[in-house]
Structure 1
Amino acid sequence: MKKMNTILLILALLNLQCNTEADPEIDQENPFRMEYFNLAYASESNTQKLDIYLPVMVLEKNPVVVLIHGGAWRVGDKSNFRTNARWSEVVDTLRSRGYAVVPINYRLSGEAKFPAQIYDVKASIRWIKANAENYKIDSERIGVWGQSAGGHLAALAGVSENIEVLEDFAQGNENVSSSIQAVVDWYGPTDFLKMDSMTIAQGCATANHSLANSGESELIGFPIESRSDLVALANPITYITEVCPPFLIEHGLNDCTVPFGQGQLLYESLLPVLGSEHVKLNLLQNSGHGNGLFTEIATVENVIDFLDAYLK
């Protein structure tokens, strides 16, 4: 399967021009490029950029997977989906399965505090929809897939349709909805105030999420135990309603960076609202924070099977 996917991608790239520079406008003389880099979806920060990888076989309207990188909300870049061999393979597999893939950047906590990060995610979704026709994207078939901190933002994007406190329309395309049709949350945090107790209960050596310099504290701008109101604002469970899209949550049972109880907590909160048909939890044996089974192509294929159920 991997070899065939690679062959298909190479053939497509030989027949279609690849754009490797920032290009916010379609070139009318050559509108069928396969890749676009560093497109600005908002103008407040130079960080607010995205890339677009069209599928191997381009249709008039292609379903979309938005990829959100991790890094404790303070480091990371969308370029990782191109330069990291493992994630490049994920992108290639998605493209071979008929998806346009859109990795995004968002303002990190050193630049802006929460909720700037979810503002950016939702602004990027609105931009994708507003520009869907130019890039042969189907604005009604959008899934979001995030890892770690990106998993947290993907979950928030999924639960916050019509939640104005998590939407900054000043970022652009204010008349476009940021609703999405599917969420994949890979080992993302949910309730920051429960992370240390879950880490200890799991038998991990250290539990440091409540420290003033933790990723969670730096995200909200205060030690998390001093601002339960901001922690609640960042908690996806706060916003769950029956309009939430389907969720796939996957977490490693050996994860001591984000304890698996965080994924379990989100699942248990979504389950009575969405039902077992529309929310799935996979706890992966012998897997930590993004390693183990998360590195296997079979795990990626299972995720895409989930996306296929709701985006095709």
Structure 2
Amino acid sequence: MRERKQIDINLYHGDFDVQYSPVSKTCTMDIFLPEGKGPFPVIISIHGGAFKKCDKRDEEMIVDMLHGLDKGYAVIGVNYRLSGEAQFPEPVKDIKQAIRFIKDNAQKYHLNADKIVVWGGSAGGYLTLMAGLIDKYEEFDDDYSSNTNTKIQGLVAWFPPVNFSNMDQQLKISGLLKKYPDHDDSLSPESLFIGAPILENSDLVQRANPENYLHKDICPMLIQHGSADDIVPYQQSLDFVNKAKTICKQQIYYEILEGAHHGDPLFSTPENLTKVYCFIEKCFE
């Protein structure tokens, strides 16, 4: 995995550390704007970090998304409450509120509210999947939320966790499980995210499972996962896609990157990024 560094926002034009929700000082976004007058289609970047760390300016993934500036897209990096501050469903609520804020303030920031794609990896990939599903679910709204619909036009999810309860079992089946339980542990990232040991709280695990929010009107999705991922097993994406395709077969695009590990540079090759941006362009047509 690449060394984690942060981008220098002084190299970019836009509005930074914009507060999008009153619930926490954590809830800020960076709005990177391309040259021109707009309104600009939007790529929302959701960072990973096991639900418990990292930041919207981490170079690890957002550099891939910032290529969108050259294509005339605005790129918006979003911070959300991490598991040390709030547990499910609160971080998901943050992402939904961020989308609503972008739509409600589109004119102010020269954005196209009708052309929004969300893109994230790992924990950010999980939140990306949820962003594409929860527009129809009021339980992810807050009292202060506007009535603006949060439907997006597409999403790109890289190596997302989905069903927390079977991650270690899937790694074991693939021969990739480490010597000690990772996800099943009472202090695993997933246990901390839901606020309870996952093996003792199956109902809460299912409430957090994106598969249970699938509906017929989902947006187009591009989901990529590495076959050699020993952190989030590729079967997490595969199972989600198989279930999603029973609901809307034409809108789910799934690809295994052979030999790729978690956060592998293979995801960021020019060839793969060309594929991703071609998908995004179709979402904006």
For residues 59 and 271 of structure 1, what CA distance do their matches in structure 2 show? Answer: 39
Aligned residue in 2 for 1:50: 29
1:74 to 2:46 alignment: no
For residues 65 and 131 of structure 2, what CA distance do their matches in structure 1 show? Answer: 21
Contact 1:19 1:36 in 2 (8 A): no
TM-score, normalization by structure 2: 0.92
For residues 62 and 292 of structure 1, what CA distance do their matches in structure 2 show? Answer: 28
Instruction: Provide structure 2 residue ranges, at least 5 long, that are not aligned to the other structure.
Output: 1-7
The partner residue of 2:43 within 42, 48, 65 is: 65
For residues 135 and 62 of structure 2, what CA distance do their matches in structure 1 show? Answer: 30
The partner residue of 2:158 within 186, 190, 202 is: 186
1:128 Cα offset (Å): 0.3
For residues 59 and 89 of structure 1, what CA distance do their matches in structure 2 show? Answer: 23
1:291 Cα offset (Å): 0.7
1:139 to 2:113 alignment: yes
1:248 to 2:222 alignment: yes
Once the two structures are superposed, the pairs formed by residues 81-100 of structure 1 within 5 Å of their partners are 84=59, 87=61, 89-100=63-74
1:34 Cα offset (Å): 2.6
Letter in 1 for 2:48: G
Once the two structures are superposed, the pairs formed by residues 1-312 of structure 1 within 5 Å of their partners are 34-56=13-35, 58-80=36-58, 84=59, 87=61, 89-170=63-144, 172=145, 174-206=146-178, 207-275=181-249, 277-312=250-285
1:19 Cα offset (Å): 8.3
For residues 248 and 41 of structure 2, what CA distance do their matches in structure 1 show? Answer: 23
Which structure would you say has the larger Rg? 1
For residues 75 and 270 of structure 2, what CA distance do their matches in structure 1 show? Answer: 17
What percent of counterpart residues are identical? 35
Structure 1 residues 88 and 281 mapped into 2: Cα distance closer, same or farther (>3 Å)? closer
For residues 29 and 66 of structure 2, what CA distance do their matches in structure 1 show? Answer: 17
1:97 Cα offset (Å): 1.4
Aligned residue in 2 for 1:7: none
1:169 Cα offset (Å): 4.1
1:54 Cα offset (Å): 1.1
For this pair of structures, how many residues does the alignment match? 275
Q: Which runs of 4+ in 1 moved over 6 A?
A: none
1:88 Cα offset (Å): 5.2
Structure 1 residues 303 and 38 mapped into 2: Cα distance closer, same or farther (>3 Å)? same
> What SS class does the counterpart of residue 134 from structure 1 fall into?
coil
Structure 1 residues 88 and 73 mapped into 2: Cα distance closer, same or farther (>3 Å)? closer
For residues 152 and 52 of structure 2, what CA distance do their matches in structure 1 show? Answer: 25
TM-score, normalization by structure 1: 0.84
Contact 2:64 2:268 in 1 (8 A): no
Letter in 2 for 1:194: N
For residues 249 and 143 of structure 1, what CA distance do their matches in structure 2 show? Answer: 13
Q: In angstroms, what is the RMSD of aligned CA positions? A: 1.7
Contact 2:158 2:224 in 1 (8 A): yes
